[in-house]
Structure formats: C-alpha cells, structure tokens
Structure 1
Amino acid sequence: MANPWTGEVALVVDGQRHVLKLTLGALAELEDGLKAGGLVDLVERFEGGAFSSRDVLALLVAGLRGGGWRGDPADLMAADIEGGPMGAAKVAAQLLARAFQVPDDAA
C-alpha cells in the first residue's frame, strides 16, 4: 500500500501495482531530464494545468524508479496505465504534490 505521508503514490501498469516515490535521486534525475527549467517550473506547469504528456511521463518514470522500478521511458510509453492518460496525469500530480508536502503534525 502506498503511504502518502512518505510521498508515495500507487500506479497500476500492465495490471501490476507499483509504488512511486520521488526520492532525492529520482528528483535529481527528473530535474536533469527536464529540457526547460527545473522542478519549480514543473510544479508551476502542473498548478496552472499547462503540463505536457512529456512532463507526466518524466514524473512517472522518476517516481517508479524511486520506488525501485528498473524500466525506462520506452517501457512506460508502451504500457497500459490504469486510468489512461487522465489517470497517469492525476498520479503524476499527486506524486509531485506529495514530494513537497509537509504533514500537518510535522510543521
């Protein structure tokens, strides 16, 4: 089960449930892979609804890798993601939000 307090989000890919998490290494890989801007720009694109399918894919790959997955973007592009493109975008947005969210009792 995904633990939202540790930044985890669940995603079903090709019928298999995965736990995604943006670890520091996954965030560094994500930032390196972004062609324009950094993580702040990515957060702003998601907040404004101006994100691209490339943004969603990059976030999902980074989160999957943070959760221990050893695939690559091509594997995910050929996969069946539960919920389709909208489900993928929702999980990507949750993943990004949880990576930078401080629990109420930890503030």
Structure 2
Amino acid sequence: MVNLHRGEIEAVLDGKSYRLCLTLGALAELEHAFGEDDMLAVAERFEAGRIAAADAIRMIGAGLRGAGYDIADAAVGAMRVEGGAAGFVDIVARLLAATFTAGRVNGERGAEDNGPLAGRAA
C-alpha cells in the first residue's frame, strides 16, 4: 500500500501494480539527467504542462528505482499503460504532486490547488 505522506503513488505498468517514489536519490538522478541545478527546477520543468516522452521515461524510471525496483529506463520505455501517452503523463503528474505536496495538512494547499509547486515560498 502506498503512503502519500511519504510521496508514494501507485501505477499499473504492463498490467502490474508498482509503487513509485521520488526519493532524494531519485531527484538527484533527475537533476543530473535534465541538467537542472535543484529539485524544484525539475518540478518547474513539468509544471508548464509540456512533457517529452523521454522525460516521462526518466521520471517514471527514477520513481520506480526510488521505490526499490531495479528497472532501467529502457525497460520503462517498453512498458505499456492504460490510456497510452496520456496515462504516462498522468503518472508523472501524480508523482510530482505526491513528491512536492505530500503531508500538507491543517488547511494548507494540496496537490489539487495549483500543481506541484503550490505554496512554495518565493
């Protein structure tokens, strides 16, 4: 079972349920892969709503590895998901929301309030 307060989500890939989590190690992997300076820059990259297929593969692969699976990006690229490309985009959006808004309580804004950077201090 996933724990949203730990930034985990569940996704079905190739008909199998997986837990995904962007740990600090996974975020560092993405910073390096995308040439970004910090983890919030990774989130900002996707907040505009545009995502390349290669970016989705990297994000989902990092989330799988962060949850403890030993799955290479090439294997992720060969996986199928219900909804096709839109299904992959949904996984990335849910993963980012869980990572950057997990654990908000007591009236604070949540994932549904403006994307993964909602409530970020300027």
TM over 0.5: yes
Residues 50-69 of structure 1: matches in 2 within 5 Å?
Answer: 50-69=50-69
Query: What is the CA deviation profile of residues 16-58 of structure 1, one whole-angstrom value per residue up to 9, with x for unaligned ones?
Result: 1000001111111111111x43433332232211222222111
SS in 1 for 2:22: coil
Q: CA deviation at 1:69?
A: 1.0
Moved over 4 A (4+): none
State how many pairs are aligned. Answer: 106
| Aligned residue in 2 for 1:104 | 105
Q: Which runs of 5+ in 2 are unaligned?
A: 109-122
Identity of aligned residues (%): 39
Q: Return the structure number with greater relative CO, CA threshold 8 A, min gap 6.
A: 1
Q: Distance in 2 between matches of 1:25 and 1:45?
A: 18
The question of 1:82 aligning with 2:82 is answered yes
Unaligned residue ranges in structure 1 (runs of 5+): none
Superposed CA deviations along residues 36-85 of structure 1, whole A, max 9, x for unmatched, are 43433332232211222222111100100011110101111111123321
Question: Displacement of 1:13 after TM fit?
Answer: 1.3
CA distance in 1 between counterparts of 2:42 and 2:52 reads: 10
Structure exhibiting the larger radius of gyration computed from Cα positions: 2
Q: TM-score, normalised by structure 2?
A: 0.76
Stretch moving more, 59-68 or 3-12: 3-12
Q: CA RMSD in A?
A: 2.0
Q: For residues 43 and 57 of structure 1, what CA distance do their matches in structure 2 show?
A: 15
Distance 2:54 2:93 in 1: 13
Correspondence 1:40-55 to 2 at 5 A: 40-55=40-55
